[in-house]
């Protein structure tokens, strides 16, 4: 058995799907020796949930791998690019540019991932192609797929092409702010303790959860705020607190 078969099932590509994937590669100027692994990167878990014969054919493992490659490539670039900055500055920018808020627009506007996604009927009908979490996860899955197919150098090249423009925006203070970090630095400096985030409730089915979170600064509570995952909801709650405290 080929080692790669341990990571995903073999799946014969239809000619029209192969053409679609080749078009994706041309648009992004990347090359895959094995288009099957790229195809896997676009398969949301709702597809495997509804198609039991492909119960392991989804992009979650590739997303896990791609997240690490994305983080390493971004951190290495920041280390070399910002030689005079302390670790805190690098960490703040990294957290910003690898976030769902940044990756989702890259997925849709630069990579056009929404055109290639494969998902279950329920997810399709609920607007899955427009969901930030699904789009951002697919970016990481594509990075993971390219790493497995062509090695770290190829994956790093793609990451930097996508992420460096976002780094420059943040360096010029034109990007999305990492409100959790802003709030934590402010509150720790003032009170020597961290903000406390509370998961108020979750709602919706597994494939379309909504998380509601509040943030507590001592006896004062800000929120609640919503997000499609806990991390995003916490960012929104932190933003509400920052705005109320005049930290914008």
What are the residues whose beta carbons fall under 8 Å from the beta carbon of 119, sequence distance 6 or more?
A: 43, 44, 46, 47, 128, 129, 134
Q: Which residues of 174-198 are buried (b: 16+ CB within 10 A; e: fewer)?
A: ebbbbbbbbbeebbeeeeeeebebe
Closest CA to 160 of 148, 172, 152: 152
Q: Which residues of 79-116 are buried (b: 16+ CB within 10 A; e: fewer)?
A: eeeeeeeeeeebebbbbbbbbbbbbbbbbbeebebbeb
Q: What pairing do the DSSP bridges indicate for beta strands 196-203 and 210-217?
A: antiparallel
- Given the residues 67, 100, 114, 156, the one annotated as active site: 67
To the query of whether residue 20 is one of the catalytic residues in this protein, the response is no
Grouping H, G, I as helix, E, B as strand and the rest as coil, residue 150 is helix
DSSP structural state of residue 130: G
- Given the residues 140, 166, 178, 234, the one annotated as active site: 140
Residue positions counted in the chain: 248
197 sits in which H/E element: strand 196-203
What are the residues whose beta carbons fall under 8 Å from the beta carbon of 175, sequence distance 6 or more?
A: 96, 97, 102, 166, 169
To the query of whether residue 140 is one of the catalytic residues in this protein, the response is yes
Long-range contacts of 17-21 (CB under 8 A, 24+ apart): 20/115, 20/116, 21/116
Residues belonging to the active site: 67, 140
């Amino acid at each position: 058995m080929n080692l790669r078969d341990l990571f995903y099932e073999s799946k014969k590509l239809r000619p029209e799907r192969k053409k679609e994937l080749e078009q994706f590669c041309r648009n992004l100027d990347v090359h895959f020796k094995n288009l099957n692994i790229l195809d896997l990167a676009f398969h949301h878990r709702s597809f495997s949930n509804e198609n039991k014969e492909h119960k392991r054919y989804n992009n979650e493992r590739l997303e896990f791998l791609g997240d690490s490659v994305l983080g390493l490539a971004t951190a290495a670039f920041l280390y070399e690019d910002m030689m005079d900055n302390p670790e805190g500055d690098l960490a703040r920018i990294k957290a910003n540019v690898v976030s769902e808020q940044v990756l989702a627009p890259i997925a849709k506007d630069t990579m056009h991932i929404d055109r290639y996604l494969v998902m279950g009927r329920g997810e399709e009908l609920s607007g899955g192609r427009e969901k930030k979490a699904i789009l951002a996860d697919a970016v990481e899955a594509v990075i993971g797929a390219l790493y497995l197919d062509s090695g770290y150098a190829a994956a790093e090249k793609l990451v930097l092409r996508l992420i460096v423009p976002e780094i420059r925006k943040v360096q010029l203070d034109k990007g999305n702010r990492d409100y959790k970090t802003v709030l934590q630095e402010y509150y720790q400096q003032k009170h020597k303790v961290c903000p406390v985030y509370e998961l108020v409730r979750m709602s919706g089915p597994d494939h379309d959860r909504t998380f509601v979170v509040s943030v507590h600064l001592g006896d004062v509570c800000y929120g609640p705020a919503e997000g499609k995952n806990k991390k995003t909801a916490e960012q929104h709650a932190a933003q509400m607190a920052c705005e109320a405290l005049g930290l914008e």
